[in-house]
Amino acid sequence: MGIIEIFLQPLFWMIMGMLYALVIVSARYWARDLGLNMNWWKWLLTGLWFVMLSLFVAGGMTLIGENEIQGGIYFLGFFLVLMLILGVGLWRLLTFNRKKADA
Protein backbone atom coordinates (compact mmCIF):
# COMPACT_ATOMS: atom_id res chain seq x y z
CA MET A 1 0.00 0.00 0.00
CA GLY A 2 1.50 3.31 -1.10
CA ILE A 3 1.62 6.50 0.89
CA ILE A 4 -1.14 8.08 -1.20
CA GLU A 5 -3.56 5.20 -0.52
CA ILE A 6 -2.81 5.40 3.22
CA PHE A 7 -4.14 8.96 3.24
CA LEU A 8 -6.66 8.76 0.42
CA GLN A 9 -8.60 5.68 1.55
CA PRO A 10 -9.63 7.05 4.98
CA LEU A 11 -10.29 10.42 3.37
CA PHE A 12 -12.63 8.82 0.86
CA TRP A 13 -14.62 7.04 3.58
CA MET A 14 -14.71 10.18 5.74
CA ILE A 15 -16.17 12.21 2.85
CA MET A 16 -18.59 9.38 2.07
CA GLY A 17 -19.68 9.25 5.74
CA MET A 18 -20.19 13.00 5.82
CA LEU A 19 -22.27 12.91 2.65
CA TYR A 20 -24.46 10.11 4.07
CA ALA A 21 -24.90 12.02 7.34
CA LEU A 22 -25.82 15.13 5.34
CA VAL A 23 -28.40 13.18 3.29
CA ILE A 24 -29.99 11.63 6.39
CA VAL A 25 -30.06 14.85 8.43
CA SER A 26 -31.42 16.97 5.57
CA ALA A 27 -33.99 14.42 4.34
CA ARG A 28 -36.86 15.85 6.43
CA TYR A 29 -36.08 19.40 5.22
CA TRP A 30 -36.14 18.23 1.57
CA ALA A 31 -39.42 16.45 2.19
CA ARG A 32 -40.89 19.62 3.73
CA ASP A 33 -39.61 21.83 0.87
CA LEU A 34 -41.09 19.40 -1.67
CA GLY A 35 -44.43 19.51 0.11
CA LEU A 36 -44.45 15.78 0.90
CA ASN A 37 -46.74 14.60 3.68
CA MET A 38 -44.39 12.07 5.19
CA ASN A 39 -45.40 9.50 7.78
CA TRP A 40 -43.64 6.49 9.30
CA TRP A 41 -44.25 4.02 6.45
CA LYS A 42 -43.27 6.56 3.80
CA TRP A 43 -40.00 7.18 5.66
CA LEU A 44 -39.50 3.43 5.94
CA LEU A 45 -39.98 2.90 2.19
CA THR A 46 -37.74 5.85 1.34
CA GLY A 47 -35.07 4.57 3.71
CA LEU A 48 -35.27 1.08 2.27
CA TRP A 49 -34.95 2.44 -1.27
CA PHE A 50 -31.90 4.50 -0.32
CA VAL A 51 -30.21 1.58 1.51
CA MET A 52 -30.88 -0.72 -1.47
CA LEU A 53 -29.47 1.85 -3.90
CA SER A 54 -26.34 2.23 -1.77
CA LEU A 55 -25.89 -1.54 -1.48
CA PHE A 56 -26.26 -2.09 -5.25
CA VAL A 57 -23.77 0.67 -6.08
CA ALA A 58 -21.37 -0.77 -3.49
CA GLY A 59 -21.87 -4.32 -4.84
CA GLY A 60 -21.30 -3.31 -8.46
CA MET A 61 -18.24 -1.25 -7.61
CA THR A 62 -16.82 -4.12 -5.52
CA LEU A 63 -17.20 -6.48 -8.50
CA ILE A 64 -15.43 -3.98 -10.76
CA GLY A 65 -12.70 -3.53 -8.12
CA GLU A 66 -12.23 -7.30 -7.94
CA ASN A 67 -11.59 -7.33 -11.70
CA GLU A 68 -15.01 -8.76 -12.55
CA ILE A 69 -15.59 -5.77 -14.81
CA GLN A 70 -18.26 -7.27 -17.06
CA GLY A 71 -20.13 -8.76 -14.09
CA GLY A 72 -19.93 -5.43 -12.27
CA ILE A 73 -21.25 -3.44 -15.22
CA TYR A 74 -24.14 -5.89 -15.76
CA PHE A 75 -24.92 -5.85 -12.01
CA LEU A 76 -24.88 -2.05 -11.88
CA GLY A 77 -26.83 -1.70 -15.14
CA PHE A 78 -29.55 -4.13 -14.07
CA PHE A 79 -30.00 -2.91 -10.51
CA LEU A 80 -29.69 0.81 -11.27
CA VAL A 81 -32.45 0.54 -13.90
CA LEU A 82 -34.53 -1.47 -11.38
CA MET A 83 -33.89 1.14 -8.69
CA LEU A 84 -34.87 3.91 -11.10
CA ILE A 85 -38.18 2.15 -11.81
CA LEU A 86 -38.76 1.61 -8.06
CA GLY A 87 -37.71 5.23 -7.45
CA VAL A 88 -40.30 6.53 -9.91
CA GLY A 89 -42.92 4.31 -8.24
CA LEU A 90 -41.89 5.59 -4.81
CA TRP A 91 -42.04 9.19 -6.02
CA ARG A 92 -45.58 8.62 -7.31
CA LEU A 93 -46.51 7.21 -3.91
CA LEU A 94 -44.93 10.08 -1.99
CA THR A 95 -46.46 12.76 -4.20
CA PHE A 96 -49.95 11.27 -4.07
CA ASN A 97 -52.25 13.99 -2.65
CA ARG A 98 -49.26 16.30 -2.30
CA LYS A 99 -49.75 19.91 -1.23
CA LYS A 100 -47.56 22.30 -3.19
CA ALA A 101 -45.02 24.01 -0.90
CA ASP A 102 -45.80 27.40 -2.32
CA ALA A 103 -49.59 26.85 -2.22
Question: 23-46 burial string, b = 16+ CB within 10 Å, else e?
Answer: eeeeeeeebeeeebeeeeebeeeb
Show the binding pattern over residues 22-61: x = contacts another protein (CB under 8 A), - = does not: ----------------------------------------
With beta carbons less than 8 A apart as the criterion, state whether 23 and 89 touch: no
1-6 long-range CB contacts below 8 Å, 24 or more apart? none
92/99 with CB nearer another protein = 92
The residues in 71-100 that bind another protein, with binding defined as CB under 8 A, are: 74, 77, 81, 84-85, 88-89, 92
Q: Which residues bind another protein (CB under 8 A)?
A: 74, 77, 81, 84-85, 88-89, 92
